[in-house]
Chains A and B, each alone.
Chain A
Amino acid sequence: MELANALLRLYARSVGRALPVRSTYSLGPDPPKPLLLALIRLVGEETIQALAWGFGDTLLGLSVNWNALNRQTGHLEGFARDLQLYFGASLASGRLPRIWISQPLTLECLELLAVRYSRNKYTNERIRSFARLLAVLVHEAACPGQQTVAVASDLLSRHLVTGQSPSEESHLGALLAWASPPPGQDPETVALERARRPATAMLSRLDDDRVEALRTVARLNNPEGLAARAEIARLLESAVREEWALLAGARDAFWDLDLEVSPGVDNLAAISFDRLMFTSRGRWSPPSSVHALAKLYGEHEYLSTLVEALDFRYDQRVRELARTTGQVIRARVLALEPPAERGGNWRLLLQTLQERTHVRLGASLQTVDWSVQGRVVTFEGDMRSEAIMFQLSITGGIRKVRTIQVGTVLDWTDAVVFNNLMLNSMIYKELGTLRPWLAYGKDP
């Protein structure tokens, strides 16, 4: 992957444009009205100073708080109302809501807001329920393959490779310079110019210093104080409008990639919807006890494998790039052996010429179309031909195996989807009830 990635970066540089590294979108199409949220945070405190939100390309609301240190929540009320209405209406109509944010830092701010206000008795119920909804969103955003929270910078980085370094790509403005280069301009020059200003949901250095200097005066209840507040508000409003434009541009650039939507997305969207229906109902709170966390991590592990397996199955570019790292193995069938005894397993002898493979004794492999599964039982390298031969004991897909001809070339992967969530759920439920000393650290 390192060499492939380097060559792709070089290729992107020589053609002066970012290259898609996927042939399908990993995100389903936007609903008719996706919600976009841009915000400006107070660095250090990580509180929200200004936010702008709207549906599609239409800016619906914009609010600023000239003193983000005072823990007032008045500026959040409008967004809280609209977000709750949007979520309620989407879920009630059986549709998955979609919220677009520009970068992971925005999500961190929302997470802190959720922690600070979901049980805060000094604020009103609307803000408390808004904070609980944010906790749901943050929890959802962490789930692999989720289809609700679209983080623009992450999505673009996963779908594109630019002619710059990964560190430079982390600046959303710079990434956009490669994704949709301004006509007649060198994307690298534009990207470097844009990267001079931070694009991490905060004010520019000059404006930030100005706002900090104005804060003391703004606390005064006199005309000077009012003027200072107005100036802070103006600076914040201008910054949040820029952030909104960046987000809208990133969303447009993403959909302009013009890829097919992966067929696997429907499956992931259904999982996302079910999860949201569960977490947004009643007073759900993020898992914190041992058994709940273990269950959550089990789910994440399952979902990561599922997303990977779906990508290998439906996305040709992801599959080819995975071959360079050995996650996908292209192998020729050399022999097919029926079971030696009754109840035994069929065996497939395979040969691959790939330099890198994830084949090791005992590893589970499945074909990328999920039709056959097996376990590696023998494994040997041939020094002369540099080929690797391995034998699989077939554990699933016997009917399909019988139809395989010797000489057939198949793609295999170690991303084997095994859904044991139901079984795990029962185990963790029992663990939660018994609260054993070993897990909970208390005497039985």
Chain B
Amino acid sequence: MSFRGARGLVVASFNPACDTLLTMVALRVEDVEVYPLVTGRAYDGEVGERRGALKKGNKFESWLYANGARLLATVVAVEFGLRADNMQVEDLRKVRARRRQTLQEARLARTREILQRLANNLPVPDLLIQPAFAVSIAPGEYRVVYPDYAVLSRWEQMYVVGEIKAFITRDNKAPALSLKRTRRQAAVEVIALREEAARFGLEGRVDDRAACVFGTVKGLNPSAVYQERLDAEVSEVRTALRRLERTSALGLGTSQSVEELFQNLVGTRAFNFEEQCFSICALHTVCRARIASQPTVLGDEAADALGAEVDLPRLAELIRGATPLTPAESSFVSVVSDLIGLLGYGPETWAERVA
């Protein structure tokens, strides 16, 4: 997953307690770029989406956007009480930049124009394809997010952001990890929409929900719209944004080279290693190696149960028969011995098996 742009905010929300991660997002540096700076060798693990999945995703989106997004409009209309043949669709990918204006600025300006019209109770399109919303991450710094679509909810008189994902849903089941990321992505978009709406006094109308369209087993046929409540995700992203603002305010990266900065961050253990790091950050092996003597390597639950400050090598020595030196160590040995006895594997049995 990319650390640049709006995707970076999604990554940051997964582990907002990790300063290294937040710094990468704040500086718009990819984890695979930092990896060689810290380890001295190139990253050779999995990075990014598979080409096949990417192709399918693009094909699926194009199919839904084809012919003035007729198919998307049909799917969305059912859920939002609209009539597909009467829906006004505006494709913001077709917005052209004026002089001295970037394409991004042009799309932002057009989106804001539409929101202004909505605030003035003037007619607005029912469906926006890839509108642009800016979300601020620090004073004077913002990221622009492009939801796949936004549909006007007649009841709230406000747009609901929408995500299109090609992964296959079956019996209302979607792959857990993909769904988790989609929900985070949508949460960033909801926050961005609320920020944009606040410019026109419409923030109260924005609801923490998104309308998702997924793939099905039948080729490029889309599923029905799933309206996902995103209260928890919005809260997580907000936490990440607050911490990101603080990280940016520290001015990291201004006084030293990027290489020194990250070596320093990892060296001083300014990271927060968790189980989920395996699926979000290429530096997980580096961080894991640095905390090899802490219970986190046994998993988040184990770390909670044993306590983060416990020294694993010492506990392993105690298990192998070292003499306890403190009452806490004696208590640990007693608990482990009881458990080992109850489950019927004494150390000698296992020593034999290992031998």
Interface residue ranges, A against B (CB under 8 Å): 2-11, 13-17, 19-21, 23, 42-46, 111-112, 115-116, 163-168, 192, 196, 198, 202, 205, 208-209, 212, 316-317, 320-321
Q: Is the CB of A45 within 8 A of B217?
A: no
In the complex, are the beta carbons of A320 and B343 less than 8 A apart? yes
Measured between beta carbons, the chain A residues less than 8 angstroms from B336 are 7, 10-11
Contact with A along B218-251 (1 / 0, CB 8 A): 1000000000000000000000000000000000
A112 CA / B219 CA spacing, docked (Å): 11
- Closest B residue to A166 by beta carbon equals B299
The answer to whether A10 touches B315, judged by C-beta atoms less than 8 angstroms apart, is yes
**Contact status A111-B342, CB under 8 Å:** no
CB of A14 within 8 A of CB of B339, answer: no
Q: Is B344 touching A23 in the complex (CB atoms < 8 A)?
A: yes
Task: Given contact pairs A14-B315, A115-B217, enumerate 5 new A-B contacts (beta carbons under 8 Å).
Answer: A6-B295, A11-B340, A14-B319, A317-B343, A320-B342
Whether the Cβ atoms of B305 and A6 lie closer than 8 Å is yes
Inter-chain contact B344/A11, CB cutoff 8 Å:
no
A163-B298, A167-B299, A212-B51 are contacts. A198–B46 as well, Cβ < 8 Å? yes
Contact call A14/B302, Cβ cutoff below 8 A? no
Given A10-B298, A163-B298, residue A19 in contact with residue B312 (CB < 8 A): no
Q: Is B325 part of the binding interface, using a Cβ–Cβ cutoff of 8 Å? A: no
Say if the beta carbon of B347 comes within 8 Å of chain A. yes
Which chain B residues (309-355) contact chain A, with CB distance < 8 Å? Answer: 312, 315-316, 319-320, 335-336, 339-340, 342-345, 347, 350-351, 353-354
Closest CB-CB distance, A134 to chain B, in whole Å? 13
Chain A CB within 8 A of B285 CB: yes
Nearest CB in chain A to that of B332: its residue: A7
CB <8 Å contact, A6 and B298: yes
Select from chain B the residue with minimum beta-carbon distance to A206.
Answer: B44
Of B166, B278, B315, the residue contacting A168 (CB under 8 A) is B278
Q: Separation in Å of the B299 CB from the closest CB of chain A?
A: 3
B52 contacts A by Cβ under 8 Å: yes
Q: Interface stretch among B53-61, B138-146, B153-161?
A: B53-61
- Please, which residues of chain A bring their CB within 8 A of the CB of B344? 23, 316-317
Contact in complex: A13, B217 (CB < 8 Å): no
Q: For A316, give the chain B residue with the smallest CB separation.
A: B344
User: Smallest distance from the beta carbon of B18 to chain A beta carbons, Å?
Assistant: 16
Q: Specify the main secondary structure of chain A where it touches its partner.
A: helix
| Nearest-Cβ distance from residue B152 to partner chain A, whole angstroms | 28
Give the CA-CA distance A6 to B305 in the complex, in Å. 7
- Is the interface on chain B under 10, 10 to 19, 20 to 34, or 35 or more residues? 35 or more
B258 at interface by CB-CB < 8 Å: no
Shortest CB distance B34–A (Å): 18
Complex contact A196–B275 (CB within 8 A)? no
Q: A7-B335, A317-B344 are in contact. Are A14 and B320 (CB under 8 A)?
A: yes
Judge whether A165 and B297 touch: CB under 8 Å. yes
User: Pick the contact of A167 from B45, B166, B276, B319 — CB < 8 Å?
Assistant: B276
A300 shortest CB reach to chain B, Å: 14
Q: Which of B52, B170, B335 has the most CB of A within 10 A?
A: B52
Q: Which residue of A lies closest to B298 (CB)?
A: A9
In the complex, the answer to whether B306 meets A6 with C-beta atoms within 8 Å is yes
Beta-carbon contact of B52 and A115 below 8 Å: no
Neighbour of A166 across the interface among B55, B275, B320, CB < 8 A:
B275
Within 8 A of A (CB), among B243-292: 275-276, 278-279, 285, 288
Chain B hits for A205, CB < 8 A: 46-47, 50
Question: How far does the alpha carbon of A192 sit from the alpha carbon of B347 in the complex, in Å?
Answer: 25
B281 → chain A closest CB, angstroms: 13
Query: What is the bound-complex CA distance between A205 and B278, given in angstroms?
Result: 16
B335 adjacent to A44 (CB under 8 Å): no
A195 — nearest CB in chain B belongs to which residue? B278
List the A residue with the shortest CB-CB distance to B315.
Answer: A10
Give the residue name and chain of the B residue nearest to A112 (CB). Answer: B217
Do residues B55 and A44 form an inter-chain contact, with CB atoms below 8 A? yes
From B51, which residue of chain A is reached at the shortest CB distance?
A: A212
CB pair A165–B168 under 8 Å, yes or no, is no
